[in-house]
Amino acid sequence: DTGIASVLGVISLIFYPFVIIAIKLEDNGPAFIMQERIGAGNRIIKLWKFRSMRGSDAGKWVTEGDDRITRVGKFLRKSRIDELPQLWNIVRGDLSLIGPRPDIVAMGKKLADELPYYTVRNLIKPGLSGWAQIKQDVAPQSLDETRERLAYDLYYLKNRSFILDLTIALKTMKTLLSRTGK
């Protein structure tokens, strides 16, 4: 993880000035945001991203057409460029390349109260991509969709292997290269 993330992180630095300028030109707000997320062992980690939204509501699902998403943010999210700074979270050891996506703290606590066994997904290091991300077209926007994501995360925990990680990595690269993400 660390070696791959280090190489990709250095390569990704080429894009940083362009993304920062685009964000600044749109609304002159900060280029980066830091989100507190739930990591392995329910430990709080600080995740870095390029800012793609105005304001924030950490306890609210982001829905398609959400008016908080900026024009630049729509492109950053679709292309997954907003996630590039998380490569440095992998280098730091907070994330893995593959694993369940870490929840924003407020949302994770809410979901843990509403879904049995929800925190089991936090037994391992969270990932930049995961089984749920390649199986669900969009991020969960409801409790039912989150229940489905949890089923995928539990499947991953039970069946994780080099081959499954490689499958996830290849499908993630296919999505990134085809820009079919949402």
What's the gap between Cα 85 and its chain centre? Answer: 11
Q: What is the mean pLDDT of the chain?
A: 89
Question: Is pLDDT at 182 greater than 50 in this prediction?
Answer: no
On whether the CB atoms of residues 85 and 13 are closer than 8 A, the answer is no
- Region 58-77: mean pLDDT is 77
In this prediction, residues 68-95 reach a mean pLDDT of 91
Q: Which residue has the higher pLDDT, 40 or 60?
A: 40
Q: Tell me what pLDDT residue 77 has.
A: 86
Report d(CA 86, CA 162) in Å as an integer.
Answer: 22
**What Rg value do the Cα atoms of the chain yield, rounded?**
16
d(CA 32, CA 50): 4
Cα gap 124→128, rounded to integer Å: 13
| Both structure tokens of 1 | 């993880």
**For the residues of 72-128, what is the DSSP string, one character each?**
HHHHHHHHTGGGTTHHHHHHHTS-EEESPPPPBHHHHHHHHHHSTTGGGGGGS--EE
Position 80, amino acid: R
Instruction: List, for residues 20-58, the tens digit of each pLDDT value.
Output: 999 999 988 899 999 999 999 999 999 999 998 887 655
Chain segment 138-158, per-residue pLDDT in tens = 778 888 889 999 999 999 999
pLDDT tens readout for residues 107-129: 899 999 999 999 999 999 999 99
How many Å apart are CA 29 and CA 60, to the nearest integer? Answer: 21
pTM over 0.75: yes
